[in-house]
């Protein structure tokens, strides 16, 4: 052991230390023994005098901070935003003014309802919050993967969240909306109906954070150098394409791999497969806002892309995992009021409420007003002001001047800075405001069904089926019949076919009455392809994962060809075997497994290949996890590569007679290459659309 090296380490050590680095207390005192508390005699009582043990336990006792009241479970990643098209005509924000400019970012994805330890594939909205460390301060775009919200006014947020979270008396269910309280509230809140369509769609069970869109939700403003304002809505479009799991997979993934999404993100970045999103803007002016069928300040409405196209102006690349989850992902503090000159808020009542809430919540979570000193929250541009003191103040100004105006400037009699700058400082857009103080909901916010219906009719038949199934599942977990009926009473305003399917799904004899609506008629808006996931899938298997189930005697050539073809297509491979040590292949080589079959079910892969050895296939035919691997892959409409030697397993579960165009014989012709190309379609939906009898 070397002597204490004071040149290394310290409270802010960045590099992992080695075994030669001496351990110290938080006070920097070298520790001689980290295993034994100071006692009076070898079997005697412990002494309070032991500052080493006491400090260690004290610190441990205080390791936790309050988890976020919503979006508690999240996963953060570093990256950068590169502007590809400058928009000085729209905004004077520097981040938007020079094509090629790169701005560092930190993005945190999250679920909403579950606590920190809940599973990743809960049916839920996903948070998509990005902090841009711009030259003019931090801009936080705190969005979701769904472009609308449940409520129109922030005052309703605590009720919404109370209803969604576990019931206060019994403290369950965790991380799900399938319960009485949620549907009671929702069925009494018609403004939620558009959002309900989104959360009952496959948007709420994304395959990965990498394969989902992001939305700023609210209307914001962009302000140019002349002070002219345009309205804007922000969109993130994943270059990876959209993809979701199916509900039966979600249920199983939550058991097999509760960290499915965070592991996926970590692995993608770790392997250099950096996910990217294009930043798109929908820009419109006051005239459009006047003409548009709905109020652009109503966060329960979208502006269809067909009406205002999304213009791509830059790309976000996520390329760096965090060094420390707590320091970065847990302590990052997003605040919707963090905007920069050239961007401004609108009067959306939900956004205005958020602007209060986020700052307030950080005080509670992070313990004081100096959370901006924590490295992940600190701007990367200069910070200069006369704010001082408070808990955990890390950056303290030098000198005597701590107020303004002052006359402490050296010999000049002028102020010692900093000073506000009318030229470059943030100015609010001077939107004229008038009106009496009232507590009313604007009449322009009153149509709650037209866009809900538009969303539904924009989906493919497969997706519509999933929505009916999701509503049936959720309402079947609701104990009170009147709540179930009330909810179907809303669905009848959206689509009678959907209402009927849910009615049949929960086993009602007759459709319940429609609930009274605030505004009739409900408009038949044209379908929008942008709203469907299946119409916006990827074009290849890139970034996806193939599971290859192997056993002793499996054809080595087929496995090598598959691995090469997958790699060539930019996909990854997971080898699954009956034993974690792997399998002895046909050429005598030992192929190591990444997962034992029980821990690597087919639900965690995008497509599977079942490449068993002839002898072992007979044994595995009776093995439940092996059976599930194949039968689930089939039921979830996955593409299945196989070799004829795997047939005994297929026969045992009745799959041999069901071989359809979603199966690819890997021993034939181009085999592996063809299979991976086929997998680019992600699922063989025909199988579930027209199930063989
Ligand atoms: Fe949030 N929300 N929210 N929210 N929200 C929080 O802030 C709140 C809303 C969103 O990864 C909290 O730091 C109110 C809409 C994301 O750290 C809290 C209202 C949208 C995240 C809060 C809303 C969001 C949060 C909890 C109604 C999409 C996670 C911890 C007016 C546009 C950020 C925290 C992260 C987090 C309040 C509605 C997105 C309590 C009052 C709409 C992505 O401040």
Q: Which of 124, 142, 218 to mutate to test the pocket of ligand 1 (most atoms within 8 A of CB)?
A: 142
Report whether pLDDT(414) > 80.
Answer: no
Q: Are residues 596 and 517 in the same domain?
A: no
User: Do 552 and 487 belong to one domain?
Assistant: no
Report how far ligand 1's centroid is from the alpha carbon of 358 (Å). 7
- For the cut 80, the answer to whether the pLDDT of residue 12 exceeds it is no
How far away, in angstroms, is 452 Cα from ligand 1 center?
Answer: 23
Q: What is the pLDDT of residues 673-688, one digit of tens each?
A: 999 999 999 999 999 9
pLDDT band at residue 6, thresholds of 50, 70 and 90?
very low
Query: Where is average pLDDT lowest: 132-136, 297-301, 411-415, 621-625?
Result: 411-415
> What are the DSSP E strand ranges found in 524-682?
545-550, 572-577, 583-584, 590-591, 595-596, 607-611, 640-642, 663-665
**Residue list, ligand 1 pocket, CB within 6 Å:** 68-71, 74, 108, 110, 127, 129, 142-144, 149, 154, 157, 217, 299, 332, 334, 350, 353-354, 357-358, 361
Share of the chain above pLDDT 90, in %: 92
Q: Compute the distance between CA of residue 18 and CA of residue 15 in angstroms, rounded to an integer.
A: 9
Helix or strand holding residue 302 (H, E)? none
**Distance from residue 216's CA to the centre of ligand 1 (Å):** 12
Report the residue among 354, 355, 361, 367 best suited for mutation to probe ligand 1: largest number of ligand atoms under 8 A from its CB. Answer: 354
Give yes or no for residue 51 having a pLDDT over 70.
Answer: yes
Pick the catalytic residue: 138, 144, 181, 321? 144
Q: Stretch 646-673: mean pLDDT, rounded?
A: 93
Quote the pTM value: 0.96
The verdict on residue 427 lying in a domain is no
- Say whether both 487 and 593 belong to one domain: no
Dig out the tokens for 543 from the structure.
């970034």
Q: Which ligand 1 atom sits closest to the C-alpha of 71?
A: 29
Domain assignment present for 381: no
Query: For 22-47, how does the pLDDT look when each residue is reduced to its tens digit (9 = 90+)?
Result: 999 999 999 999 999 999 999 999 99
Cα separation, 538 vs 207, whole angstroms: 12
pLDDT score of 8 more than 70: no
Read off the pLDDT of residues 158-213 as tens digits, 9 standing for 90 and up. 999 999 999 999 999 999 999 999 999 999 999 999 999 999 999 999 999 999 99
| 365, 376 contact by CB (below 8 A) | no
Query: Quick check: 267 pLDDT over 90?
Result: yes
Give the contacts of 424 (CB within 8 A, at least 6 positions apart).
136, 341
DSSP secondary structure letters along 246-279: -HHHHHHHHHH-TTHHHHHHHHHHHTT---EEEE
pLDDT of 243 above 90: yes
Opening angle at CA 133, ends 132 and 134, nearest 5 = 95
Residue 663 has pLDDT above 70, yes or no: yes
Considering only CA atoms, which residue is closest to atom 8 of ligand 1?
354
- Kindly state the percentage of the chain with pLDDT values over 70: 97
In terms of Cα–Cα distance, which of 550, 546, 536 is closest to 677?
546
Q: Is residue 106 scored above 80 in pLDDT?
A: yes
For residue 153, the ligand 1 atom closest to its alpha carbon is: 31
Residue 579, domain member (yes or no): yes
Active site residue 218: no
71 carries an active-site annotation: yes
Position 195 in a domain: no
Beta strand spans in 135-287 (E):
137-144, 214-215, 220-223, 229-238, 276-284
Helix (H) or strand (E) holding 104: strand 102-111
Domain finish residue from 373, 398, 422: 373
Same domain membership, residue 513 and residue 544: no
Query: What residue's CA is closest to ligand 1, atom 29?
Result: 71
Centre of ligand 1 to C-alpha 334, Å, is 8
Looking at residue 691, its pLDDT comes to: 65
Tell me the residue range of the domain where 479 lies. Answer: 449-534
Nearest alpha-carbon partner for 63 in 12, 26, 21, 113: 26
Clarify whether residues 489 and 548 are in a common domain. no
Domain boundary among 491, 513, 534: 534
**Res 693: pLDDT:** 45
pLDDT band at residue 669 under the 50/70/90 scheme? low
Identify the DSSP state of 610.
E
Residue 328 has pLDDT above 80, yes or no: yes
- Distance in Å, CA 365 to ligand 1 centroid: 13
Quote the mean pLDDT of the chain.
95
Q: To test the ligand 1 pocket, which listed residue (65, 66, 67, 68) has its Cβ within 8 A of the most ligand atoms?
A: 68
> How many angstroms is it from 498 CA to the middle of ligand 1?
31
State pLDDT tens for residues 331-341. Answer: 999 999 999 99
Report the range of poorest mean pLDDT among 176-185, 308-317, 404-413, 496-505: 404-413
Mutational pocket test of ligand 1: of 129, 189, 358, the residue with most ligand atoms within 8 Å of the beta carbon: 358
- Number of domains the chain is built from: 3
Residue 21: inside a domain, yes or no?
no
Mean pLDDT in residue range 63-80: 98
Please report, for the domain that includes residue 290, its CATH number: 2.40.180.10
**Atom 44 in ligand 1: which residue has the minimum CA distance?**
358
Q: Which atom of ligand 1 is nearest to the CA of 362?
A: 13
Is pLDDT at 3 greater than 80 in this prediction? Answer: no
Mean pLDDT of 509-517: 95
Same domain, 518 and 566: no
pLDDT (mean) for 449-459: 98
- Does residue 296 register a pLDDT over 80? yes
Of the three residues 373, 390, 415, the one that is the final residue of a domain is 373
Give the ligand 1 atom nearest the CA of 144: 28
CA dist 513 and 17 (Å) reads: 68
pLDDT band at 605 (very low <50, low <70, confident <90, very high): very high
What was the pLDDT predicted at 14?
61
pLDDT > 60? residue 2 = no
Does residue 378 lie within any of the structural domains?
Answer: no
Cα(690) to ligand 1 centroid in Å equals 42
- Whether residue 319 has pLDDT greater than 90: yes
């Amino acid at each position: 052991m070397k002597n204490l090296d004071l040149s290394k380490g310290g409270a802010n050590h960045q590099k992992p230390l080695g075994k030669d680095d001496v351990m110290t207390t938080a006070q920097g005192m070298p520790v001689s023994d980290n295993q034994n508390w100071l006692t009076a005699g070898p079997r005697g009582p412990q002494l309070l005098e032991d500052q080493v043990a006491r400090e260690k336990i004290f610190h441990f006792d205080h390791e936790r901070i309050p988890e976020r009241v919503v979006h508690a479970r999240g996963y953060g990643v570093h990256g950068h935003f590169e502007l590809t098209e400058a928009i000085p005509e729209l905004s004077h924000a520097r981040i938007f003014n020079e094509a090629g400019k790169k701005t560092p970012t930190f993005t945190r994805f999250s679920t909403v309802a579950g606590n920190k330890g809940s599973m990743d594939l809960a049916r839920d909205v996903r948070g998509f919050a990005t902090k841009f460390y711009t030259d003019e301060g931090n801009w936080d775009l705190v969005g979701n993967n769904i472009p609308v919200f449940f409520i129109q006014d922030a005052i309703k947020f605590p009720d919404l969240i109370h209803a969604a979270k576990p019931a206060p008396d019994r403290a369950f269910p965790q991380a799900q909306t399938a319960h009485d309280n949620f549907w009671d509230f929702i069925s009494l809140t018609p403004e939620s109906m558009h959002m309900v369509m989104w959360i009952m769609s496959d948007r709420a069970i994304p395959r990965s954070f990498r394969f989902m869109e992001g939305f700023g939700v609210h209307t914001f403003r962009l302000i140019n150098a002349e002070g002219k304002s345009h309205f804007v809505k922000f969109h993130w479009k994943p270059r990876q394409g959209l993809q979701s799991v199916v509900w039966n997979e979600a249920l199983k993934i939550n058991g097999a791999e509760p960290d499915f999404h965070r592991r996926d993100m970590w692995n993608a970045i770790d392997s250099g497969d950096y996910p990217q999103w294009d930043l798109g803007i929908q820009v419109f002016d006051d005239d459009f806002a006047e003409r548009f069928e709905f109020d652009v300040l109503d966060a329960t409405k979208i502006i269809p892309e067909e009406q205002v196209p999304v213009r791509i102006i830059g790309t976000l690349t996520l390329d760096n995992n965090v060094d420390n989850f707590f320091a970065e992902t847990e302590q990052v503090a997003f605040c919707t009021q963090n905007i920069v000159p050239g961007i401004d808020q609108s009067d959306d009542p939900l956004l205005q409420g958020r602007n209060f809430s986020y700052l307030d919540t950080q005080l509670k979570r992070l313990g004081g007003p100096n959370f901006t000193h924590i490295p992940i929250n600190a701007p990367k541009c200069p910070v200069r002001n006369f704010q001082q003191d408070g808990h955990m103040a890390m950056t303290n100004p030098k000198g005597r001047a701590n107020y303004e105006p002052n006359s402490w400037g050296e010999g000049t009699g002028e102020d010692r800075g900093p000073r506000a700058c009318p030229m470059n400082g943030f100015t609010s857009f001077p939107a004229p405001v008038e009106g009496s103080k009232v507590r009313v909901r604007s009449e322009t916010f009153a149509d709650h069904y037209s866009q809900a219906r538009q969303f539904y009719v924009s989906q493919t038949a497969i997706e519509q089926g999933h929505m009916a199934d999701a509503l049936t599942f959720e309402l079947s977990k609701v104990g009170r019949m009147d709540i179930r009926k009330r909810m179907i009473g809303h669905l009848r305003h959206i689509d009678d076919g959907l209402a009927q399917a849910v009615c049949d799904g929960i086993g009602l004899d007759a459709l319940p009455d429609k609930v009274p609506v605030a505004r009739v008629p409900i408009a038949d808006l044209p379908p929008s392809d942008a709203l469907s996931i299946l119409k916006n899938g990827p074009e290849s298997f890139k970034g996806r994962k193939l599971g290859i189930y192997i056993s002793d005697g499996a054809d080595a050539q087929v496995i090598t060809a598959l691995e090469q073809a997958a790699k060539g297509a930019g996909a990854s491979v997971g080898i699954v075997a009956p034993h974690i040590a792997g399998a002895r292949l046909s050429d005598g080589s030992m192929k190591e497994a990444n997962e034992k079959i029980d821990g690597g079910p087919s639900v965690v892969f995008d497509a599977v290949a079942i490449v068993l050895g002839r002898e072992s296939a007979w044994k595995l035919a009776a093995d439940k996890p092996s059976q599930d691997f194949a039968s689930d892959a089939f039921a979830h409409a996955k593409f299945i590569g196989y070799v004829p030697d795997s047939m005994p397993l297929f026969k045992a579960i009745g799959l041999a007679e069901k071989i359809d165009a979603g199966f690819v014989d890997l021993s034939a012709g181009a085999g592996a290459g063809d299979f991976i190309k086929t997998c680019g379609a992600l699922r063989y939906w025909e199988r579930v659309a027209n199930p063989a009898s």
